[in-house]
Amino acid sequence: MNDILACPSCGLDKTEAIVHGGSYILRCAACGEAIVATSFLAISDLDHPFSAFADPGPGKRPRPETLIARGPLRQISPTISAAAREGTRVLLIPEGTP
């Protein structure tokens, strides 16, 4: 989850994890450029806990009331998938990181 990847547009190496439709996307936190995309299914059985929020936009902190789900990704992935299928962009934030 903490891949060091630099944005091809602006060179920043801070990324955000987004789920949109059936895709898991790493996005530049500054300009919003999509850097890496894979299938959400490929990561959806992780035991690591995440908080899932409605996407507030690149580099913005989500508001608490936009929380969609929180817990081990394996448990909350159906909720995230359902929201993403309805067109919500979901910001995934790993729990337990400073």
Alpha carbon distance 25, 19 (integer Å): 6
Please state the closest distance from residue 66 (CB atom) to Zn ion, in A: 23
Binding flag, residue 33, Zn ion (CB under 5 A): yes
Q: Is the dihedral of CA 6, 8, 11, 17 positive or negative?
A: negative
Nearer to Zn ion, 59 or 62 (CB): 59
3-state secondary structure of 57: coil
Q: How far is the CB of 31 from Zn ion (least distance, A)?
A: 3
H/E element, 94: strand 90-94
Q: Which region, judged by CB under 5 A, interacts with Zn ion, from 30-38, 47-55, 74-82, 83-91?
A: 30-38
- Residues near Zn ion (CB under 5 A): 7, 9-10, 28, 30-31, 33
